[in-house]
Amino acid sequence: MQKRKLGKSNLEVSAIGFGCMGLSHGFGPAVEKHAGIAMIRAAVERGVTFFDTAEAYGPFTNEELVGEALAPVRDQVVIATKFGWKLDPTAERALVGLDSRPEHIREVAEASLRRLKTDVIDLFYQHRVDPNVPIEDVAGTVKDLIAEGKVKHFGLSEAGAKTIRRAHKVQPVTALQSEYSLWWREPEDEIMPVLEELGIGFVPFSPLGKGFLTGKINEDTKFDKKDFRNILPRFTPENRKANEALVELIGKFAQQKKATPAQIALAWLLAQKPWIVPIPGTTKLHRLEENLGAAGIELAAEDIRELESAASKVTVQGTRYPEELQKLVGR
């Protein structure tokens, strides 16, 4: 597996990471603990060194899973986790608001260290920008945690360009994690130029469009009642039917390259910038191997032009998030 550095930092990780969320949260019932551990260790065996989790996934159970799975190889891997939510595990919806107060960030750091069975968090992201706490206070708190040896790198998730600049002045931001894929290209407008200018790495989540770009989801697909795609406008049956045009296009291109649609979607991301590291997640070993195979696919400039030209003719239907969730991004 090739390695990449996240921006100007010295944080070197595998070119494709592993998003652990779906093992515990978001896409239906959590996998059995032993199966989750086996999946994470299978990724390590295949060269993955970058694992993404958060206290909010579960809540808490995903960090515990990641901590146990990676304990035997802790010195060989990079673990990213996140702070910034107010959580109530007893509520039907455990995420009850935002909370990036300095004292809360510290509480989360200590709890995450325990669950992850480690003495340092490699990359600590603010999960969503909290409008009630100046980003300078957030960055300053993480700067202190870095000085204390509890955190190595500071990250932001779904932050807007101005917030990224303000945070970076206080504590250099190593990476931004936001959604980016062939069917969500908004970061190209304002965000990526800022990342390039400041030397910040980019970690796209949902690089396969929450599974849609694999070609395995259509208008008739039924999601588990706990699957959060049920509430996403882009995933209504009628929008799925309309959006299949993009998947068909990627599929045709994949056939020419003797690859799968998922591999082309990931290879396209890797070809955008050398400081981009996507973090697809999966619960299936064959999907893990398929995803990692994308790192070996080289797309020439002409391939990328052809793919983007065709994709630009397809207007993706449906917003990414319902309105209340969309308000939390790009601040």
Residue 26, C-beta contacts closer than 8 angstroms, at least 6 positions apart = 57, 227, 228
Residue type present at position 112 = S
Environment class of 161 (CB within 10 Å of its CB; exposed 0-12, middle 13-18, buried 19+): middle
In this structure, are residues 183 and 320 in contact, taking their beta carbons and an 8 Å threshold?
A: no
| CA 75/CA 298 separation, integer angstroms | 30
Q: Is 180 a catalytic residue?
A: no
DSSP assignment, residue 318? S
Of the candidates 245, 248, 247, 240, the residue with the CA atom closest to the CA atom of residue 219: 240
| CA 116/CA 118 separation, integer angstroms | 5
Of the candidates 189, 198, 115, the residue with the CA atom closest to the CA atom of residue 156: 198
DSSP assignment, residue 51? E
Catalytic residue among 57, 125, 180, 321: 57
Helix (H, G, I), strand (E, B) or coil at 230: helix
| CA 297/CA 293 separation, integer angstroms | 7
| CA 294/CA 266 separation, integer angstroms | 6
Which residues are marked as active site?
A: 57
